[in-house]
């Protein structure tokens, strides 16, 4: 496996980060998780735009242009001869001294990993996934904005741990006021009386690229979409619930906190959206091998 490290391709064993890197010492950095399907990178521009916006919010200057970054992402897939890949792009503040002052880090450090993707077991797309609501709250926008895809995922990891403890694979996170924010690495949707709901990003959710795709797909199917805050109670009584993300795509949720959601089976709108999403990922994207 070859890793792109500050623009140079090196074998995995040589792809190492300094113990003085502020990404490691303080979580001072940003990342993206991108996928390629059959040799096409899905939503490359959107992911790179979000990476640069996340970095800008932290006044972290990425040492290469967006165009160069995109070319290196494409090359990372190509050099590893991958068709269906999971691509992780990480930019850190870079090596500095022991002290959190970012001005002591002269140059940001970045790397790109193109690997094969580990997916949720296929049975969950057919049967639906059970989840819990974790007691760990999502970061608040007035502290660290959840719109910044930063290297600070500890709240989410604590949520994931709680999910593990309850024997499920994902957890819904609420915000400080108790409104549904998102899951630990996915956005959330529900269907109620035929209307599709997702929390607005100000509630405390990442501006998900799959989320945006689902909103667009629903509009194309003449389904009304409302971005308004809602609570756990709304989820419990919803007709359908699903989560969205680059890794998960569209995953039906059929059980929350051991309560059956809807009929207890993936709902018709969830299934229709998943089908459409699959079609689009099969046909759209930036060609790697053209
Ligand atoms: N919320 C959070 C907190 C996320 O981290 C999403 C929502 C979904 O966003 P996208 O743009 O992917 O639809 C994410 C995405 C990983 C991994 O390896 C994490 C994400 C995506 C891909 C891989 O942990 N997070």
- Residue pLDDT, tens place only, 41-69: 999 999 999 999 999 999 999 999 999 99
CATH 3.30.470.10 holds for 2-115: yes
User: Is 90 exceeded by the pLDDT of residue 179?
Assistant: yes
- Residue pLDDT, tens place only, 258-273: 999 999 999 999 999 9
Specify the 3-state DSSP secondary structure of 201.
helix
Q: Give distance in angstroms: CA of 260 to centre of ligand 1.
A: 26
- Give the CA-trace dihedral at 146, 30, 186, 271, to 10 degrees: 130
- Residue pLDDT, tens place only, 128-150: 999 999 999 999 999 999 999 99
Predicted confidence at residue 290, as pLDDT, reads 86
**Spatial separation of the C-alpha atoms in residues 61 and 52, rounded to whole Å:** 8
Do residues 200 and 218 make contact, with C-beta atoms less than 8 angstroms apart?
no
Q: Which pLDDT band, with edges at 50, 70 and 90, does 8 fall under?
A: very high
Matching CATH topology for 2-115 and 123-281?
A: no
Predicted confidence at residue 117, as pLDDT, reads 82
Among the atoms of ligand 1, which is closest to the Cα of residue 211?
13
**Spatial separation of the C-alpha atoms in residues 194 and 259, rounded to whole Å:** 21
**Spatial separation of the C-alpha atoms in residues 51 and 47, rounded to whole Å:** 6
- Sequence ranges of the domains in the chain: 2-115, 123-281
Instruction: Report the pocket of ligand 1 as residue ranges, CB < 6 Å.
Output: 33, 156, 182, 185-187, 206, 208-211, 244-247
Give pTM, 2 decimals: 0.97
Predicted confidence at residue 133, as pLDDT, reads 98
Max Cα separation, the chain? 56
Among the atoms of ligand 1, which is closest to the Cα of residue 47?
11
Q: What is the DSSP letter of 203?
A: G
Which numeric CATH code is attached to 123-281? 3.20.10.10
Do residues 189 and 230 make contact, with C-beta atoms less than 8 angstroms apart?
no
Question: How many CB atoms sit inside 10 A of residue 178's CB?
Answer: 12
């Amino acid at each position: 496996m070859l890793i792109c490290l500050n623009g140079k391709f090196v074998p995995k064993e040589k792809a190492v980060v300094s113990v003085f890197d502020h990404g490691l010492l303080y979580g001072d950095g940003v990342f993206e998780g991108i996928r390629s399907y059959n040799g096409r990178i899905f939503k490359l521009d959107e992911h790179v735009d979000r990476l640069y916006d996340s970095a800008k919010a932290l006044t972290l200057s990425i040492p290469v242009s967006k165009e160069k970054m995109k070319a290196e992402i494409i090359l990372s897939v190509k050099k590893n001869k991958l068709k269906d890949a999971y691509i992780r792009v990480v930019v850190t503040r870079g090596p500095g001294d022991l002290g959190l002052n970012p001005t002591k880090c002269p140059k940001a450090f970045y790397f790109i990993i193109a690997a094969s993707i580990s997916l949720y077991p296929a049975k969950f797309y057919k049967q639906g996934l059970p989840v819990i609501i974790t007691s760990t709250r999502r970061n608040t926008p007035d502290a660290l904005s959840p719109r910044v895809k930063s290297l600070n995922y500890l709240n989410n990891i604590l949520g994931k741990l709680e999910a593990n403890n309850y024997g499920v694979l994902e957890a819904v996170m609420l915000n400080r006021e108790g409104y549904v924010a998102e899951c630990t690495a996915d956005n959330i949707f529900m269907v109620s009386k035929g209307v599709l709901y997702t929390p607005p990003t100000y509630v405390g959710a990442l501006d998900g690229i799959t989320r945006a795709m689902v909103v667009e797909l629903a509009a194309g199917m003449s389904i009304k979409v409302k971005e308004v805050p809602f609570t756990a109670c709304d989820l419990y009584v919803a007709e359908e619930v699903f989560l969205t993300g680059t890794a998960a795509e569209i995953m039906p949720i059929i059980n929350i906190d051991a309560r059956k959601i809807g009929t207890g089976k993936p709902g018709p709108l969830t299934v229709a959206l998943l089908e459409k999403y699959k079609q689009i990922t099969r046909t759209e994207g930036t060609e790697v091998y053209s």
